[in-house]
Amino acid sequence: MLNKLMIKRMIEEALIEDMNYGDITTDSLLDESIMGEAIITAKETGVIAGLPVAEATFKILDEKIEFIAIVSDGNNVSKGDDIAIIKGSLKNIIKAERTALNLLQRMSGIATKAHKYAEIVKDYPVRIVDTRKTTPGLRSLEKYAVKVGGCSNHRYNLSDEVMIKDNHIKAVGGISEALEKCRKAIPHTTKIEIEVETLEQLKEAIAGGADIVLLDNMDTNTMKEAVEINQRRVILEASGNITEERLKEIAAIGIDVISVGALTHTVKAMDISLNLK
């Protein structure tokens, strides 16, 4: 779900960034009484995500603008398909255009990639999740787009769960020490995830009471051994060097979760345009 208050703040900041003292070109050429209509069109095939955000962008600038969605978030579209119609003051439509498209294109690019990844492992009981490798300030939008595309979310931020990483372990002195300190400090309702790099560390993490173990940068054969060692005692998450080509082979060995930073940090924005009728 999108948080409307968070969306409003993000959009306002984006609009201010784009025209802190107005739009010198559009303000010089048009006044708000000139009405018209524009169409948002897909220029390539993909999965749409972010229509409510695009609509909010236009309406924050001008609440009288009418936004008519032709498709819905999660729909597949082809090149040339119309996505939405916008009616109202041409001046304000043009001023909000770039911010609305930037967000819609970015989110649709993420949803398209997530859909592709989800399809690859659809026959396996595995969950593909995102990471915190998101664009600063846009995390909630990008994680929403991941879900629209058919994948799942990992933690939203550092407050969501205990996740003990390699630098934590080095700083504290070891896996057992880190697990013990966290378990004493946190509520009983909070899960603990810990990152391991070897099978010996995995055994130590299971014995130490971890709820989730992240297998960091392991090859597929080593992860297969980890699944056999684990015997479903903890949730196993594969992470690091997860390419599109490896997804199915990792899913097939019985890993529970595959986290993929590329869902958000190396995404090509979907090509979408806005043109006046």
Annotated active-site residue 27? The verdict is no
Residue that is written with structure tokens 């995102």 in the block = 130
Q: How far is residue 144's CA from residue 247's CA, in Å, rounded to a whole number?
A: 22
Using DSSP, state whether 268 is helix, strand or coil: coil
Tell me whether residue 98 is one of the annotated catalytic residues.
yes
Catalytic residue among 87, 116, 133, 203: 133
Cβ atoms of 205 and 179 within 8 Å: the answer is yes
Catalytic residue among 73, 130, 195, 204: 195
The active-site residue, picked from 98, 181, 183, 203, is 98
Which listed residue (8, 87, 165, 191) is catalytic?
Answer: 165
Active site residue 133: yes
Q: What whole-number distance in Å separates Cα of residue 53 and Cα of residue 49?
A: 9
Helix pair angle (51-61, 4-18), 10° resolution: 60
Residue 80: Cβ within 10 Å count: 10
Q: Judge residue 178's burial from the number of C-beta atoms within 10 Å of its C-beta, 0-12 exposed, 13-18 middle, 19 or more buried.
A: buried
216 belongs to the catalytic site: yes
* Residue of 81, 197, 216, 271 with catalytic role: 216
List, as one string, the DSSP characters of 77-133. E-TT-EEEEEEEEHHHHHHHHHHHHHHHHHHHHHHHHHHHHHHHTTTSS-EEE--S-
Active-site positions?
98, 133, 165, 195, 216
